[in-house]
Structure 1
Amino acid sequence: MCPVAHAARHTQSSWTNSVHPASGGQVGFLVLPDNQDGAAVARATSPGLEQTQVIPHASGRPWIVGAWNAGEMLTASVGRKRLALLGCFGTTSAELLRALSGSGDVAALDAFLRSVPGSYHAIVSFDGEVRVQGSLSGVHEVFHATVGGVTCAADRPDTLAARIGGDIDAQALVGHLLSQQPWPLSGYTVWRGVECLAPGHYLRIRPDGAHRAVRWWSPPSAELTLAEGARRVRNALDDAVAARARNTPALGCDFSGGMDSTSLAFLASRQKGCRRLVTIRREAVDPAHDDAQWALRAAAFLPGAEFVVLPSAGLPLSFTDQLAYDEDLEAPYPWSRVKAVVACVARQLAARAVPLQLTGHGGDELFSPAPSFYHALAHSEGLRSVRDLRVARSMYRWPLGAMLSNLLRKPSYRQWLITASMSLTKPVGGPTEPFTGWGAHPRLPPWATPEAVEMCAGLLREAAARGTPPHSPEAAQHEVLQAVRQCGTKIRLTNRLTSRFGVAYHAPYLDDQVVSAALSVRLADRVEAERTKPVLATAMREIVPDALLDRTTKGEASAEVYAGARHHKAELLALTEDMRLARLGLVDDTAVRAALLAPHPVSRTFIPVVTTLACEVWLRSVEAARTRMRQQEGAA
């Protein structure tokens, strides 16, 4: 058979349209094994859309079923081998064909897939063997479940939950109440029976429908010098932006004035495929916020770009529309408080015919060391780290005794998990609490019930007992990857929100090649007392003007949080009435209400309120979807 590569031709399914409450009426795709049971799953279920696209295995059985936009899918076939990329990628059909022709097994594609810039799912079918791979950050995630006796994969867990009748997993939901979710709790879905892959793994489905997770990537050694690492970061970022600009008539870019978004804007301005660059900036509520000054300075160096500034008076405040039900039911949305703002910006870009928005999210996670980084630095650099430790101690106001005591401890990840299970209700120490290299121990809010605390502690103890490995044996690398993964989840959910308005939401910093490049830099070169984000700043020299890279200030958004909470207090208090979280026995709703009414002199104490309300909004949205389904069934 002659090799074939093409933008996939899709057949419309004749399946009936049925919406499970877990699906919210939305779907991405399902991947089915190449056997009769997989075909039976396809015949018995519907992805929940009136228009469904189907790509077959070489056998003719359904392989990939779902819905996607033109340009998001590229496929190639050689004999009984098939390869599909779904998302944003910087490659061609000819390159896919060459990779297929030289590969005798699904595992042989590792090197090729590592080399393709962008963020995407890679789905392979080799004569009955199936490989499903997402991105390291989880922006493109792989979920799987047993459906009809065989393993099926999808890009979202609620798609699979709809097919197995999966209900909410209250124990996993408790993890979303934490100040931050540690691994492996962050990898648990809130839908029973649906699992998520660990980062750096792909799902391999055998012809009989069984599966196993296979590691294809491990964190690199942090051994490159600043110059070498910055060069690799620069090339990876340039490729990441080029992948977005290749077929886009107009490219939108956040333009806050910070180094992350500013760097993307300058990289985008250099792309030959980008005919229009539209930058967009939201005016801050806080008059002391200096992002605007830096954005204006940057704009002077981009004469060919279009600059859009959205006045704060015309923007929705934080917590707008919190009583509105979410359409996306994958999980609680961590940025729920700004969902109306995100939608407003997307509408503004859509009105200007801009189909894709670049965001600088991920830059902080990769290039701004977390407080616990200094613990790892001390253990790797010894006396050479003393100067950096002094700066960190001054910046975070660590008492000398507490810092030294912390540096003497070097727990294994298992020990860290055990300690975390015993400190869930310990008051947060705030900026004066130094951390070991694995990061801060998670905390549950004070309104979590004893049952919720025990559920969460049980998960942490189980993970420790299983010997759950960290993302990397090096604590600093693990923490960066964990931060990247949590940011990737936010981007994945945000992209679904903005896509409803015809605007894709992309974070180039979270692309696999950029993450790998950032992790390759020596720990000692990732921090400098005189400079912010030295690796990124070095990478962007001669692309971004030096005056912009030398900025040492950083704006923060607590004013927006307080203003929105005051204005929408009635709606937020309504969420504390008959709380669904309380029905599940996870929170004391009276205590939540009291926390919402109490003054919060520092924003840190208000963060658990935001997280709790996001979980409550999600539960109510699931409940509303179930009610709609019952009504539809009754009408039928």
Structure 2
Amino acid sequence: MRFLILPDTPAAAGVAERAAAYGGTVVPHASGRPWIAGTWEPGELVLARAGRRRLALLGHARPAAAGRLPALLGGMARTPDLDAAARAVPGAFHLVASMEDGRVWARGTLSAVCRLFTARIGGIPVAADRPDTLAALNGAGVDEDLVALRLIAPYAPYPLGERCLWRGVESLPAGHLLRLDPGGHAAVGGWTAPEPEVPLEEGAARVREALHEAVAARTDEGGTLSADLSGGMDSTSLCFLAAAGPARLVTFHWAAGDSANDDLRWADRAAAALPDAEHLVYGQSRVPHMYADLPRADGDLEAPFVAARVHAQLRHLAGEVAARGSTRHLVGDGGDELFFGLSAYLHSLARTRPLTAVRHVRAARAMLRWRLAPTVRALLDRASYTEWLAAAERTLTTGLPPTSAALGLGWDSVVRLPSWSTPEAAASVRALLREGAEPLSPYRGQHMALNSARKNGDGVRRAGRLSARSGVSWHAPYLDDQVIEAALAVRLEDRLAPDRYKPVLAAAMRGIVPEAVLGRPTKAEFSPLVFEGLRRHRRELLDLCDGMLLARMGLVDAAAFRSALLGLHTSSRRLLLLDRTLSCELWLRSVAAVPATTGEAR
């Protein structure tokens, strides 16, 4: 899918003609002028009309629910309530409304599975689902300061990590609506995170209903659907929900081949309770290793792809499930972010329910070996998000702290630039961190969960473009708006049960997933596979050090990066620094491989 959104003005016709030169379809406003121009697969566009009003869903929506849209559209005020429309229809999609006053309103998803970008093309405000589409139309280049941000591990803090890397192109902030009119565009604040006040029983029921609807949005059309079956609670729950629908189910499991990893044993238990599904289990000999066949040029030019090291594995999976007839693939991304008890929740719980927090903090200290004094200091910390960013700026190049020192009670993960980044890169990033920002929620845990969900959404969106080349769309039901809202509304203390794993999801899936599977007490760890992939493909990675574009930009010392690739790595956390640099370098090479005037390839 790729599309442009145009305001209702005669001047937009020229932009539509330029976009049409690359093929596609044009959907008109009620005036007959071009409104949405682009390409999409059958079923990815749903249209509703009410008088001169138009509403479009671009993405994947539950067909039965889409029938409610004309009545909703007709009852909206002149400023449409797109959040209400999104809640009425399960799935993940862009919502675009054309109103009788000539204004256009649009929104993506809370998780960033669907995002929007804006620019002025020939003086006309235009929006698109991909920034490189707009960059191709206005001849924009790459913002080198923002490329430096993408070198940060594990990721650049919100909202810096969401800034568009193409000059003259802006991204719509999380939870905002976009308004387009002939004179310009604006981002209008809309959605806010729910207060975490719903008790466990009621919250679990809401999560169950939201997840049921989210999975049904992918199964209702029948045919063949595939899903990850890792053995973990997240993917396993989706498989049991999908098995209850009309679609034929194919599950896929990558066997790690590591005696310490018990995923396969738990996946086998789940598969035994799903006798009508076809189960694929692939050992490491049948799956590309991590870092294999990294693309030297890729048609997806939005931004660096953080999952570059599994690029070949994603291509392989999509090809295998497509060969079994699957056109949709479900993944459990987002489950950890929403249902795993993030440590940052303890900070908020200590302020809202201090007596309850004592028991949870004691359990966390016992399990994670936190020392008392640093724990107390972290719980008493009252730094604002802007102050946290300023602190991150001061420690940006000090090296990764020991795992035991990272309590996880701050606003987000500890962020660092790699040692091979240049002083110029560090200066650019520090200046951006000093700008400050507002968090996604006043609660640290809510902010971190939402930000992590958006990072997952970015990955799912990008993986979907890769799988689409095999005819398979990529879906993460946990990242649907309704699921996120239901999960974040549950009380903090009910999400943090020290004696239970993912208590909200477990309660929601009781009676759907066998109790023996829900009771899994372990969680697999995959760093041995990362180290093995790096060892096998080190030579190919070293080739990237020759003529390194990041070095030409002055952001990276190529010799220092080469030394890091050749060095010993005792922590998988350090490999994230390597990964971020590799993804940036691969992206820049992809951009360089496409002529600036070629909009079609972009």
TM-score normalised by L of structure 2: 0.96
Q: Which residue is 1:616 aligned to?
A: 585
2:112 maps to which of 134, 138, 153: 138
Runs of 4 or more above 6 Å deviation:
none
Q: Which residue is 2:240 aligned to?
A: 266
**Pair 1:395–1:427, CA change in 2 (3 A):** farther
Tell me by how many angstroms 1:104 deviates. Answer: 3.9
Range moving further from structure 2, 74-83 or 381-390 = 381-390
* Residue type at the aligned position of 2:355: L
Pairing 1:94–2:63 present: no
**Pair 1:629–1:159, CA change in 2 (3 A):** closer
Pairing 1:446–2:422 present: no
Secondary structure at 2:11 match in 1: helix
1:182 maps to which of 147, 157, 164: 157
Runs of at least 5 residues in structure 1 that lack an aligned partner in the other structure:
1-26
RMSD: 1.7
Say whether the 8 Å CA contact 2:257–2:283 is kept in structure 1.
Answer: no
Partners of 1:320 and 1:628 lie apart in 2 by: 31
Pairing 1:253–2:227 present: yes
Say whether the 8 Å CA contact 2:292–2:312 is kept in structure 1.
Answer: yes
Cα displacement string for residues 35-65 of structure 1 (whole angstroms, at most 9, x for unaligned residues): 022122223x22663x311101111111100
Q: Which residue is 2:522 aligned to?
A: 553
Partners of 1:401 and 1:299 lie apart in 2 by: 46
> Where in structure 2 are the equivalents of 1:347-496 lying within 5 Å?
347-433=319-405, 434-462=407-435, 464=436, 468-496=437-465
Q: Which residue is 2:170 aligned to?
A: 195
Secondary structure at 1:69 match in 2: coil
> Where in structure 2 are the equivalents of 1:1-16 lying within 5 Å?
none
**Pair 1:103–1:258, CA change in 2 (3 A):** same
Percent identical pairs in the alignment equals: 46
Say whether the 8 Å CA contact 1:525–1:534 is kept in structure 2.
Answer: yes
* Residue type at the aligned position of 2:85: F
Secondary structure at 2:341 match in 1: coil
Partners of 2:447 and 2:116 lie apart in 1 by: 20
2:31 maps to which of 59, 63, 75: 59
Say whether the 8 Å CA contact 2:392–2:415 is kept in structure 1.
Answer: yes
Tell me by how many angstroms 1:360 deviates. Answer: 0.4
Runs of at least 5 residues in structure 2 that lack an aligned partner in the other structure:
none
Q: Which residue is 1:543 aligned to?
A: 512
Pairing 1:522–2:491 present: yes
* Residue type at the aligned position of 1:281: H
Tell me by how many angstroms 1:498 deviates. Answer: 0.2
1:241 maps to which of 212, 215, 231: 215
Partners of 2:106 and 2:138 lie apart in 1 by: 20
Tell me by how many angstroms 1:109 deviates. Answer: 4.3
Q: Which residue is 1:42 aligned to?
A: 16
**Pair 1:435–1:281, CA change in 2 (3 A):** closer
Cα displacement string for residues 446-471 of structure 1 (whole angstroms, at most 9, x for unaligned residues): 11111111111101112x2xxx2111
Cα displacement string for residues 352-374 of structure 1 (whole angstroms, at most 9, x for unaligned residues): 11000000011011111333332
Q: Which residue is 1:124 aligned to?
A: 97
Q: Which residue is 1:169 aligned to?
A: 143
Partners of 1:377 and 1:48 lie apart in 2 by: 56
Say whether the 8 Å CA contact 1:83–1:123 is kept in structure 2.
Answer: yes
* Residue type at the aligned position of 1:36: P
Range moving further from structure 2, 527-536 or 83-92 = 83-92
Secondary structure at 2:438 match in 1: coil
Secondary structure at 2:69 match in 1: helix
Secondary structure at 1:265 match in 2: helix
Q: Which residue is 2:253 aligned to?
A: 281
> Aligned pairs, how many?
596
Say whether the 8 Å CA contact 2:239–2:251 is kept in structure 1.
Answer: yes
Say whether the 8 Å CA contact 1:421–1:460 is kept in structure 2.
Answer: yes
**Pair 1:435–1:254, CA change in 2 (3 A):** closer
Q: Which residue is 1:6 aligned to?
A: none
Range moving further from structure 2, 63-72 or 422-431 = 422-431
Cα displacement string for residues 161-182 of structure 1 (whole angstroms, at most 9, x for unaligned residues): 1111111111111121111221
Secondary structure at 2:80 match in 1: helix
Partners of 2:138 and 2:302 lie apart in 1 by: 15
Partners of 1:511 and 1:575 lie apart in 2 by: 37
Secondary structure at 2:97 match in 1: strand
Tell me by how many angstroms 1:629 deviates. Answer: 5.5
Say whether the 8 Å CA contact 1:471–1:481 is kept in structure 2.
Answer: yes
Say whether the 8 Å CA contact 2:206–2:486 is kept in structure 1.
Answer: yes
TM-score normalised by L of structure 1: 0.91
Partners of 1:549 and 1:612 lie apart in 2 by: 38
Secondary structure at 1:531 match in 2: coil
Say whether the 8 Å CA contact 1:181–1:442 is kept in structure 2.
Answer: yes
Partners of 2:366 and 2:577 lie apart in 1 by: 27
Tell me by how many angstroms 1:380 deviates. Answer: 2.6
Secondary structure at 2:434 match in 1: helix
* Residue type at the aligned position of 2:175: G
Range moving further from structure 2, 230-239 or 94-103 = 94-103
Partners of 2:512 and 2:205 lie apart in 1 by: 12
Q: Which residue is 2:564 aligned to?
A: 595
Cα displacement string for residues 90-110 of structure 1 (whole angstroms, at most 9, x for unaligned residues): 244531221122224242444
**Pair 1:108–1:573, CA change in 2 (3 A):** closer
Cα displacement string for residues 375-397 of structure 1 (whole angstroms, at most 9, x for unaligned residues): 23323321321222122223333
Say whether the 8 Å CA contact 2:329–2:472 is kept in structure 1.
Answer: yes
Pairing 1:577–2:551 present: no
Secondary structure at 2:551 match in 1: helix
Partners of 2:330 and 2:143 lie apart in 1 by: 34
> Where in structure 2 are the equivalents of 1:334-349 lying within 5 Å?
334-349=306-321
